[in-house]
Amino acid sequence: MTVLGNGLTVVDHHEEALSVKEAELSVKRRVGASRGDLLVVQGNIANTYDMLGRKEEALRLNRDVYSGRVKLNGEEHEHTLVAANNYAASLIGLQRFEEVKVIMRKTIPAVRRVLGDSHGSALGMRRLYATALYRDPAATLDDLHEAVMTLEETARTARRVLGGAHPLTARIEDALQKARAARDSKETPPGSV
Protein backbone atom coordinates (compact mmCIF):
# COMPACT_ATOMS: atom_id res chain seq x y z
CA MET A 1 0.00 0.00 0.00
CA THR A 2 2.89 2.34 0.72
CA VAL A 3 4.21 1.95 -2.81
CA LEU A 4 0.78 2.61 -4.31
CA GLY A 5 0.22 5.69 -2.13
CA ASN A 6 3.66 7.09 -2.91
CA GLY A 7 3.22 6.33 -6.62
CA LEU A 8 -0.06 8.23 -6.69
CA THR A 9 1.66 11.15 -4.97
CA VAL A 10 4.43 11.19 -7.57
CA VAL A 11 1.89 11.55 -10.39
CA ASP A 12 -0.04 14.26 -8.49
CA HIS A 13 -3.10 12.14 -7.70
CA HIS A 14 -3.17 13.41 -4.13
CA GLU A 15 -6.83 12.66 -3.32
CA GLU A 16 -6.36 9.04 -4.37
CA ALA A 17 -3.04 8.88 -2.52
CA LEU A 18 -4.76 10.14 0.62
CA SER A 19 -7.39 7.39 0.42
CA VAL A 20 -4.70 4.74 0.05
CA LYS A 21 -2.60 6.15 2.90
CA GLU A 22 -5.62 6.39 5.22
CA ALA A 23 -6.51 2.77 4.39
CA GLU A 24 -2.90 1.78 5.08
CA LEU A 25 -3.06 3.46 8.49
CA SER A 26 -6.32 1.66 9.28
CA VAL A 27 -4.86 -1.72 8.31
CA LYS A 28 -1.68 -1.13 10.30
CA ARG A 29 -3.73 -0.22 13.38
CA ARG A 30 -5.86 -3.36 13.00
CA VAL A 31 -2.87 -5.67 12.72
CA GLY A 32 -1.07 -4.05 15.66
CA ALA A 33 1.80 -2.38 13.80
CA SER A 34 4.48 -0.73 15.90
CA ARG A 35 4.09 2.87 17.04
CA GLY A 36 7.02 3.80 14.79
CA ASP A 37 5.32 2.30 11.72
CA LEU A 38 2.11 4.18 12.52
CA LEU A 39 4.03 7.44 12.86
CA VAL A 40 5.61 6.93 9.43
CA VAL A 41 2.20 6.52 7.80
CA GLN A 42 0.79 9.49 9.73
CA GLY A 43 3.71 11.60 8.50
CA ASN A 44 2.95 10.54 4.93
CA ILE A 45 -0.70 11.49 5.41
CA ALA A 46 0.35 14.89 6.79
CA ASN A 47 2.48 15.50 3.69
CA THR A 48 -0.48 14.60 1.50
CA TYR A 49 -2.76 16.96 3.43
CA ASP A 50 -0.21 19.69 2.79
CA MET A 51 -0.14 18.94 -0.94
CA LEU A 52 -3.92 19.17 -0.98
CA GLY A 53 -3.82 22.58 0.69
CA ARG A 54 -5.26 21.21 3.92
CA LYS A 55 -2.66 23.09 5.95
CA GLU A 56 -4.37 23.00 9.36
CA GLU A 57 -4.88 19.23 9.16
CA ALA A 58 -1.26 18.79 8.06
CA LEU A 59 -0.13 20.90 11.01
CA ARG A 60 -2.19 18.93 13.55
CA LEU A 61 -0.90 15.61 12.24
CA ASN A 62 2.72 16.81 12.01
CA ARG A 63 2.48 18.06 15.61
CA ASP A 64 1.14 14.65 16.68
CA VAL A 65 3.90 12.84 14.79
CA TYR A 66 6.57 15.06 16.35
CA SER A 67 5.12 14.53 19.84
CA GLY A 68 4.90 10.79 19.20
CA ARG A 69 8.52 10.68 18.04
CA VAL A 70 9.72 12.55 21.12
CA LYS A 71 7.92 10.00 23.34
CA LEU A 72 9.06 6.99 21.32
CA ASN A 73 12.62 7.93 20.36
CA GLY A 74 13.66 10.92 22.47
CA GLU A 75 14.46 14.45 21.33
CA GLU A 76 17.81 13.68 19.68
CA HIS A 77 16.86 10.75 17.46
CA GLU A 78 17.05 11.21 13.70
CA HIS A 79 13.36 10.36 13.21
CA THR A 80 12.38 12.91 15.86
CA LEU A 81 14.50 15.58 14.18
CA VAL A 82 12.90 14.88 10.80
CA ALA A 83 9.47 15.11 12.44
CA ALA A 84 10.46 18.45 14.01
CA ASN A 85 11.48 19.70 10.56
CA ASN A 86 8.13 18.64 9.07
CA TYR A 87 6.25 20.27 11.94
CA ALA A 88 8.18 23.52 11.46
CA ALA A 89 7.52 23.43 7.71
CA SER A 90 3.78 23.17 8.44
CA LEU A 91 4.03 26.14 10.78
CA ILE A 92 5.84 28.17 8.09
CA GLY A 93 3.03 27.36 5.66
CA LEU A 94 0.58 28.89 8.14
CA GLN A 95 2.85 31.88 8.85
CA ARG A 96 3.29 30.94 12.50
CA PHE A 97 6.84 32.25 12.57
CA GLU A 98 7.38 32.61 16.33
CA GLU A 99 6.59 28.92 16.85
CA VAL A 100 9.02 27.95 14.09
CA LYS A 101 11.77 29.98 15.73
CA VAL A 102 11.18 28.30 19.10
CA ILE A 103 11.26 24.79 17.61
CA MET A 104 14.28 25.44 15.40
CA ARG A 105 16.30 27.08 18.18
CA LYS A 106 15.80 23.87 20.14
CA THR A 107 16.33 21.34 17.34
CA ILE A 108 19.13 22.89 15.25
CA PRO A 109 21.76 22.28 17.96
CA ALA A 110 20.45 18.71 18.32
CA VAL A 111 20.56 17.99 14.59
CA ARG A 112 24.11 19.36 14.42
CA ARG A 113 25.18 17.07 17.29
CA VAL A 114 23.38 13.99 16.00
CA LEU A 115 23.73 14.26 12.22
CA GLY A 116 26.44 16.86 11.71
CA ASP A 117 26.44 20.41 10.44
CA SER A 118 26.48 19.46 6.76
CA HIS A 119 23.66 16.89 6.84
CA GLY A 120 20.68 17.75 4.64
CA SER A 121 18.37 17.91 7.66
CA ALA A 122 20.67 20.41 9.40
CA LEU A 123 20.81 22.54 6.26
CA GLY A 124 17.04 22.38 5.80
CA MET A 125 16.36 23.32 9.42
CA ARG A 126 18.66 26.31 9.21
CA ARG A 127 16.83 27.42 6.05
CA LEU A 128 13.47 27.10 7.84
CA TYR A 129 14.74 29.07 10.82
CA ALA A 130 16.08 31.87 8.62
CA THR A 131 12.85 31.86 6.59
CA ALA A 132 10.85 32.35 9.79
CA LEU A 133 13.13 35.27 10.67
CA TYR A 134 12.86 37.15 7.38
CA ARG A 135 9.19 36.40 6.58
CA ASP A 136 7.91 37.50 9.97
CA PRO A 137 6.13 40.86 9.52
CA ALA A 138 7.46 41.84 12.97
CA ALA A 139 11.08 41.11 11.99
CA THR A 140 13.61 43.60 13.29
CA LEU A 141 16.68 44.66 11.34
CA ASP A 142 18.71 42.39 13.64
CA ASP A 143 16.42 39.46 12.73
CA LEU A 144 16.96 40.17 9.04
CA HIS A 145 20.74 40.37 9.48
CA GLU A 146 20.65 37.05 11.36
CA ALA A 147 18.59 35.48 8.56
CA VAL A 148 21.05 36.66 5.91
CA MET A 149 24.09 35.50 7.89
CA THR A 150 22.50 32.11 8.60
CA LEU A 151 21.59 31.60 4.95
CA GLU A 152 25.00 32.76 3.65
CA GLU A 153 26.72 30.19 5.87
CA THR A 154 24.14 27.51 5.02
CA ALA A 155 24.42 28.20 1.27
CA ARG A 156 28.23 27.87 1.41
CA THR A 157 27.93 24.54 3.20
CA ALA A 158 25.22 23.29 0.83
CA ARG A 159 27.25 24.21 -2.27
CA ARG A 160 30.33 22.48 -0.84
CA VAL A 161 28.51 19.33 0.28
CA LEU A 162 25.63 18.97 -2.19
CA GLY A 163 26.75 21.05 -5.17
CA GLY A 164 25.15 24.06 -6.78
CA ALA A 165 22.58 22.07 -8.78
CA HIS A 166 21.05 20.24 -5.79
CA PRO A 167 17.40 21.22 -5.10
CA LEU A 168 18.11 21.98 -1.43
CA THR A 169 21.00 24.25 -2.40
CA ALA A 170 18.67 26.06 -4.82
CA ARG A 171 16.01 26.49 -2.10
CA ILE A 172 18.61 27.86 0.32
CA GLU A 173 19.97 30.29 -2.27
CA ASP A 174 16.44 31.42 -3.14
CA ALA A 175 15.75 32.06 0.55
CA LEU A 176 19.03 33.97 0.77
CA GLN A 177 17.99 36.30 -2.06
CA LYS A 178 14.63 36.93 -0.39
CA ALA A 179 16.25 37.53 3.01
CA ARG A 180 18.68 40.03 1.47
CA ALA A 181 15.78 41.82 -0.24
CA ALA A 182 13.85 42.00 3.04
CA ARG A 183 16.93 43.30 4.87
CA ASP A 184 17.70 45.85 2.17
CA SER A 185 14.13 47.16 2.10
CA LYS A 186 14.20 47.57 5.90
CA GLU A 187 17.59 49.31 5.80
CA THR A 188 16.44 51.67 3.05
CA PRO A 189 12.76 52.42 3.62
CA PRO A 190 10.73 53.60 0.61
CA GLY A 191 11.05 57.32 -0.03
CA SER A 192 14.35 57.69 1.83
CA VAL A 193 16.57 57.51 -1.26
Q: pLDDT tens-digit profile of 117-169?
A: 999 999 999 999 999 999 999 999 999 999 999 999 999 999 999 999 999 99
Domain count, the chain: 2
Report the percentage of the chain scoring pLDDT > 70: 97
Whether residue 65 has pLDDT greater than 60: yes
Task: Verify that 136 and 117 share a domain, yes or no.
Answer: yes
Q: What value does the mean pLDDT take over residues 167-193?
A: 90
User: Do 89 and 118 sit in the same domain of this protein?
Assistant: no
9 pLDDT band (50/70/90 cuts)? confident
Q: Which of 94, 127, 159 is the last residue of a domain?
A: 94
| Residue 11 belongs to some domain of the structure | yes
pLDDT digit string (tens) for 38-57?
Answer: 999 999 999 999 999 999 99
Could you tell me if 138 and 75 lie in one domain?
A: no
Bin 54: left if φ > 0, else alpha if -120 < ψ < 50, else beta. beta
Give pLDDT, residue 86: 96
For 83-107, what is the mean pLDDT?
96
Residues 67 and 120 in one domain: no
89 and 101 in a common domain: no
Supply the pLDDT for residue 193: 56
> What residue numbers bound the domain in which 129 lies?
96-186
- Residue 61 forms part of a structural domain: yes
* 122 and 56 within one domain: no
| Boundary-marking domain end, from 47, 63, 94 | 94
Between CA 178 and CA 19 the distance in angstroms is 37
pTM as predicted: 0.89
- pLDDT at position 187, please? 87
Q: Where is the domain boundary, 94, 109, 142?
A: 94
Q: Are residues 84 and 134 in the same domain?
A: no
pLDDT reading at 85 higher than 70: yes
191 within some domain: no
As a whole number of angstroms, the distance between CA 4 and CA 7 comes to 5
User: How far apart are the C-alpha atoms of 115 and 85, rounded to whole Å?
Assistant: 14
